A = this chain, B = another copy of it.
Amino acid sequence: MSQMILPSQVEQAPELAEVSHDEWLRMYELMVKIRAFEEQVNELYLSGKMPGLAHLYIGQEAIAVGVCQALRPDDYITSTHRGHGHCLAKGASVDRMFAELLGKAPGYCHGKGGSMHIADPDSGNLGANAIVGGSTGIATGAALSAKMRGTDQVAVCFFGEGALGQGILYEVMNMASLWKLPVIYVCENNQYTEYTPYREVLAGDILARPRAFGIHAEEVDGQDVRAVYVASRRAVARARGGEGPSFLLCTTYRYLGHHVGDIDRSYYRSKEEEQRWRSERDPLKILAGWLMRQKIADAQILEEINQRVREEIAAGVQFALEAPYPDPNEVDQHVYA
């Protein structure tokens, strides 16, 4: 699409130069961490150690990391059923996240929320949401609140392209635009809404939708963390500057099933397609290659990062497996504040 920032343009973007080498390495580490976290989650599921299901973020790491890199710790995000990546990128720690996914007491929500409701207000994460489109109002309201309280906080609303089917998104985009709210709608188009190719359930032009409401909108290569970061920086600047909402349409792909149990996917997509994205459009590879070409990192530095992440994940899952379950009398606590 015309508005899509091409790799070459991205490489020239002035915002890139303002990012320190350490920050690039931190972004890389975060992306590696998200992937390793999700692989570990998959293993917990397959080995029967995790209750329920989980929706993995593998393949989409550049979006959460690129967006959150452009945010301050006191900025807000809202997340989705596929929310582990957002949570980590905004600053949550691996051990307490695993604990939450296992329903354990030290989990971020005392085990009451689980994968689909994990929230960490301390890092600005107002929560994952298991209702598709369910947090679009919350994010927009957080932006209204920031504006009313006179802070310059920004709110980011992450959602999948499936949420374009939910009417509330259009209701709140209208209000965000009317009231020039500092909210950024980040649509992660990973090509599928559950088991259905998105084009079978979506008419017209996605970017034209926010634009019809007077919202600045652009398409972004969701596999290139640099492109996501540049677009996010600009959207954040608009928001903080009082210019109102933005909409970033990030094109991406989920590598694995809709959820951990979605193993046979042949009836809705081909192995070749999956392989193509993995080999040609992998966000970790794209960033690693560039870091090496830019001499920001070499193979050894990257391997050190991988190693550090592996250890963090191993320690985190260990912590969670050993953690106690919540006390039974917690069951009717926190119904009312």
Contact = CB atoms under 8 A, between A and B. Distances in A.
A320 B201 CA distance: 49
A178 B166 contact: no
Interface stretch (A58-66, A74-82, A211-219, A229-237): A211-219
A211 B211 CA distance: 11
A205 B214 contact: yes
Contact of A178 (B164, B169, B203): B203
A89 B214 CA distance: 36
A164 B167 CA distance: 11
Contacts of A204: 174, 177, 211-215
Nearest to A213: B204
B165 A167 contact: no
A168 interface: yes
A201 B201 CA distance: 29
Nearest to A209: B212
Interface in A131-177: 164-171, 173-175, 177
Contact of A170 (B170, B177, B201, B211): B170
Contacts of A170: 167, 169-170
Nearest to A172: B167
Say how many copies of this protein the assembly contains. Answer: 2
The size class of the interface chain A forms with chain B is: 20 to 34
Interface string A189-229: 00000000000111111001101111100000000000000
A201 B178 CA distance: 7
Nearest to A199: B178
A211 B214 contact: no
Contacts of A173: 203
A34 to B, nearest CB: 32
A208 B202 contact: no
A169 B212 CA distance: 14
B165 A174 contact: yes
Nearest to A179: B203
A171 B178 contact: no
Residue in A173, A178, A201 whose Cβ sees the most chain B Cβ within 10 Å: A178
A202 B175 CA distance: 8
A308 to B, nearest CB: 45
A170 B171 CA distance: 9
Contacts of A171: 165-167
A170 B206 CA distance: 13
A188 to B, nearest CB: 19
Contacts of A202: 174, 178
Nearest to A169: B167
Residue in A168, A200, A204, A205 whose Cβ sees the most chain B Cβ within 10 Å: A204
13 contacts: A164-B174, A165-B174, A167-B168, A167-B170, A167-B171, A173-B203, A174-B203, A204-B214, A204-B215, A205-B212, A205-B214, A209-B213, A212-B212
Given A167-B170, A205-B214, 15 more contacts: A165-B171, A167-B169, A167-B171, A174-B201, A178-B200, A178-B201, A178-B202, A178-B203, A203-B214, A204-B211, A204-B214, A205-B212, A208-B212, A209-B212, A212-B212
